[in-house]
Amino acid sequence: MIPSIVQSTAGVTLLGGVGAPVSDVAEALTIAPCLVAADGGADHALAQGRMPEAVIGDFDSLSAGARARIPPARLHRIAEQDSTDFGKCLMHVAAPFFLALGFLGGRVDHTLSVLSGLTSFPERKVVLIGPEDVAFLAPPELRLDLAPGTRVSLYPMGPVSGVSEGLHWPIAGLSLAPAGRIGTSNRAEGPVCLRLMGPCIVLVPRDALGAVLAGLGIAGFPAEGGGV
């Protein structure tokens, strides 16, 4: 069993190297009050006047200035290259859920590695919050209280099948796969219910964050309102 660097009974706000606006980080911390930085995400945290509880990564992007300002006990360098900094954080932080900012909207290869990393930790509740989208790995059963017309994209990370209610284009009888049929740019007719078999990323607009948190059962968060 891999020992935890951070053990939190509350949610964790995970800040990555792309960074995020001050207002987004501040609001995320009202929901997930423990701040952990993935490598160079620590520079963004310090720039906003926030000291992370821990910095985890291989430290290839953490600046020397940030390293000098952070107490050594909070710096956790993990040199192995079999996982990303995002994966290292999920592997070494125990928390009921994660709000991850600063991982979407940057380099495409980094974004792909993060989305792929979600499938390696299906037991974790991780919500990626980007400039325009919210993304997460779908549990086997999911209900999202979405407004009619809300964009709902399903991106399979392997073979995926299932049934849906409330989508304009139902998925029953379809076989989704990365190199085959995918389910992007669907839309909600109202509340959406999904039952899925296989690893599938769900992407919705940022203003649907509240519905996502409620659908994942995170901290009893109400579905009304966008949040962050």
Compute the mean pLDDT over every residue in the chain, rounded to the nearest whole number: 92
Q: Are residues 62 and 109 in the same domain?
A: yes
Q: 42 near 55, Cβ under 8 Å?
A: yes
In this predicted model, which residue has the larger pLDDT, 1 or 101? 101
Closest CA relative to residue 35, chosen from 18, 21, 56, 58: 56
Per-residue tokens: 126: 């991780």
φ, ψ (nearest 5 deg) of residue 98: -130, 135
48 and 79 share a domain? yes
Same domain, 192 and 92: no
Tell whether pTM > 0.75: yes
Three-class SS state of 157: coil
Instruction: Tell me whether residue 219 is in a domain.
Output: no
Which CATH number fits the domain that encloses residue 148?
2.60.120.320
Interval 131-188: pLDDT, tens: 999 999 999 999 999 999 999 999 999 999 999 999 999 999 999 999 999 999 999 9
126 and 172 together in one domain: no
pLDDT higher than threshold 50 for residue 223: no
Domain shared by 163 and 73, yes or no: no
Residue 121 and residue 10 in one domain: yes
CATH assignment at residue 116: 3.40.50.10240
Domain count, the chain: 2
What is the span of the domain harbouring residue 127? 6-131
Instruction: Tell which of 76, 108, 131 closes a domain.
Output: 131
Same domain, 81 and 179: no
Q: Using one digit for the tens of pLDDT, what is the confidence trace for 44-68?
A: 999 999 999 999 999 999 999 999 9
| Assigned domain for 210 exists | no
On whether both 119 and 176 belong to a single domain, the answer is no
Is residue 214 one of the residues assigned to a domain?
A: no
222 band by pLDDT with thresholds 50, 70 and 90: very low
In the listed set 75, 107, 131, which residue is the last one of a domain according to the structure? 131
Does 226 fall in a domain? Answer: no
Quick one: 138 exposed, middle or buried, by C-beta within 10 A (0-12, 13-18, 19+)?
buried
Residue at 187 is within a domain = yes
CA distances from 200 to 93, 151, 155, 173 (A): 23, 16, 6, 16
Same domain as 114, residue 17: yes
Question: Is residue 1, in this structure, part of any structural domain at all?
Answer: no
Report if residue 207 sits inside a domain. Answer: no
Chain-centroid distance, C-alpha 114? 8
